[in-house]
Structure 1
Amino acid sequence: MFLSLELSGSPAVSGNLVPLTVIKGAGHEFIPLPNGENATVADFHSIRTNTTESPSYFTSGFYKIEAGPARPAHYTFEETKYVLNGQIDILDEATGITHHLTPGDFAFFHVGSKVQVRYDQHPFFTLKSPGRSEKNNTLTWFSTKSSGFAFYAVTRPVRAPHPNLKDREEKKSRL
């Protein structure tokens, strides 16, 4: 038995049924680190949304980090991270709290965050929110003492395709 739910006041949706997109085994594929890098993203699915209010890209992937130097990035999109394995440490200088993200933990990053590389015994990133004075900037540092693995969803197109998941989307349902 299937349940059909229609909420009053909800936006109209096409009467055509739309099939799911499925990528079997996505989380089991090896993600190689680029030569000389200790962190990488691996985008495995991206669409241009059909949201009528504000269409944009919606991309999913995995984030992998190991101890060592990292590259800078500038957030021009929203991002969520959900830790699946290992640990990713985040020091938020706005609050002075160090968050030790472990499997099951979630973090959200806002548009405008800027990541800068800084090296220490264990490298970390510094995130800065634009439009604030240097004195009042919100700073967040990322590091790991061993390795961390997270799922992410971002509002941007594919930037770094997962090398082992290209063209793996199922073309039709396997009921």
Structure 2
Amino acid sequence: MSGPLVPLTVIKGAGHEFIPLPQGENATVADFHTMRTQTKDTPSYFTSGFYKIEAGPARPAYYTFEETKYILKGQIDVLDVATGVQHHLVPGDFAFFHVGSKVEFSTKSAGLAFYAVTRPVKTPHPNLKNREEEEGRNKSSKL
């Protein structure tokens, strides 16, 4: 191992329970942590958060970054436009979206997923400001 040890980041109460949907929308993302990676070959951003969707119109997405989604609650349907296959994701299911993936998200009820993406913050989690533990942390990694 080379270089100094780096402390981890802990965000207390990084829950999904208080993520409001924007007025007139049936889905939203809530990014709760981002950082510029220290990967030597190809540095990038690494951001994580929650995806929440309720019944309503399908939500199209075209990926210019990589993303993983792990379903926590409910169900999320994902239409893979490249293959025409409709995936019905339930708790415990995991999906990986490649650069160039084109999908449509929908649900018949409601769904919640944890995600990790290779992009900077897009929509900060509305209820997590100043929730990072401070002890031993460099404050520059906050949202």
The equivalences for 1:41-120 within 5 A come to 41-92=29-80, 95=83, 97-113=85-101
Task: Evaluate the alpha carbon distance shift between residue 160 and residue 141 of structure 1 in structure 2; reply closer, same or farther with a 3 A threshold.
Answer: closer
Q: Which amino acid aligns with 1:13?
A: S
**Equivalent position of 1:13 in the other structure:** 2
User: Which of 8, 12, 28 in structure 2 is aligned with 1:24?
Assistant: 12
Task: Evaluate the alpha carbon distance shift between residue 159 and residue 92 of structure 1 in structure 2; reply closer, same or farther with a 3 A threshold.
Answer: closer
**Equivalent position of 1:151 in the other structure:** 114
**Equivalent position of 1:162 in the other structure:** 125
Structure 2 residue matching 1:149: 3-state secondary structure: strand
How far 1:99 moved relative to its partner? 2.1
2: CA distance, partners of 1:27 / 1:60: 12
Per-residue CA distance 1:46-92 (angstroms, 9 max, x = gap) = 00011111111000010000011255443210000000000011234
User: Which of 15, 34, 53 in structure 1 is aligned with 2:22?
Assistant: 34
TM superposition score normalised by structure 1: 0.71
Larger Rg: 1
CA contact (8 A) 2:47 2:121 kept: yes
For structure 2, the 5+ residue unaligned runs are 137-143
Q: Which amino acid aligns with 2:72?
A: L
For structure 1, the 5+ residue unaligned runs are 1-11, 114-126, 128-139
Pairs aligned (count): 136
CA contact (8 A) 1:60 1:151 kept: yes
Structure 2 residue matching 1:27: 3-state secondary structure: coil
Task: Evaluate the alpha carbon distance shift between residue 93 and residue 17 of structure 1 in structure 2; reply closer, same or farther with a 3 A threshold.
Answer: closer
CA contact (8 A) 1:37 1:69 kept: no
CA RMSD of aligned residues (A): 1.9
Structure 1 residue matching 2:34: 3-state secondary structure: strand
CA contact (8 A) 1:37 1:71 kept: no
